[in-house]
Amino acid sequence: MDYQAIVDEALSAAETYRGHGDVASHIPALATVNPKKLGLALVLRDGTTYCAGDADEAFSIQSISTVFTLSLALQHVGGALWNHVGREASGSPLNSLVQLESDKGKPRNPFMNAGAMVVCDQLIGSDDAETAMQELLDFLRERAGEDGIMVDERVAMSESKAGALNRSLAHYVSSFGNLRNPVDEVVSVYFRQCSIAMSCRQLATAALYLACDGTDCRTGTPVLGPERTRRILALMLTCGHYDNSGDFAFRIGLPGKSGSGGGILAVIPGVGAACVWSPGLNAARTSLAGAVALERLVQRTGWSVFV
C-beta atoms surrounding 59 within 10 Å = 26
183 near a copy of itself, rule: CB under 8 A: yes
243 near a copy of itself, rule: CB under 8 A: yes
List the one residue from 56, 88, 138, 147 that touches a copy of itself (CB under 8 A).
88
List the one residue from 69, 90, 113, 286 that touches a copy of itself (CB under 8 A).
90
C-beta atoms surrounding 79 within 10 Å = 10
Q: How far is the CB of 307 from a copy of itself (least distance, A)?
A: 6
Q: How far is the CB of 112 from a copy of itself (least distance, A)?
A: 10
C-beta atoms surrounding 292 within 10 Å = 23
CB nearer a copy of itself, residue 169 or residue 291? 169
Minimal CA–CA distance to 88: which of 67, 63, 115? 115
Candidates 32-40, 45-53, 55-63, 82-90: pick the segment binding a copy of itself (CB under 8 A).
Answer: 82-90
C-beta atoms surrounding 302 within 10 Å = 9
300 near a copy of itself, rule: CB under 8 A: no
CB nearer a copy of itself, residue 51 or residue 124? 124
Residues 195-214 that bind a copy of itself (CB under 8 A): 213
DSSP codes of every residue in 255-300: -EEE-TTSEEEEEETTTEEEEEE-S-B-TTSSBHHHHHHHHHHHHH
Q: How far is the CB of 170 from a copy of itself (least distance, A)?
A: 8
Q: How far is the CB of 233 from a copy of itself (least distance, A)?
A: 4
Are the beta carbons of 238 and 290 closer than 8 angstroms? no
246 near a copy of itself, rule: CB under 8 A: yes
Residues 151-170 that bind a copy of itself (CB under 8 A): 164-165, 167-170
140 near a copy of itself, rule: CB under 8 A: no
Binding mask 42-81 for a copy of itself (x = CB under 8 A): ----------------------------------------
List the one residue from 20, 28, 75, 99 that touches a copy of itself (CB under 8 A).
99
Candidates 13-21, 143-151, 217-225, 241-249: pick the segment binding a copy of itself (CB under 8 A).
Answer: 241-249
Q: How far is the CB of 113 from a copy of itself (least distance, A)?
A: 12
List the one residue from 5, 83, 161, 250 that touches a copy of itself (CB under 8 A).
250
Total residues belonging to the chain? 307
Contacting residues toward a copy of itself, per CB under 8 A: 86-92, 96-101, 108-109, 164-165, 167-172, 174-175, 183, 213, 226, 229-231, 233-235, 237-239, 243-247, 249-250, 253, 255, 269-270, 304-307
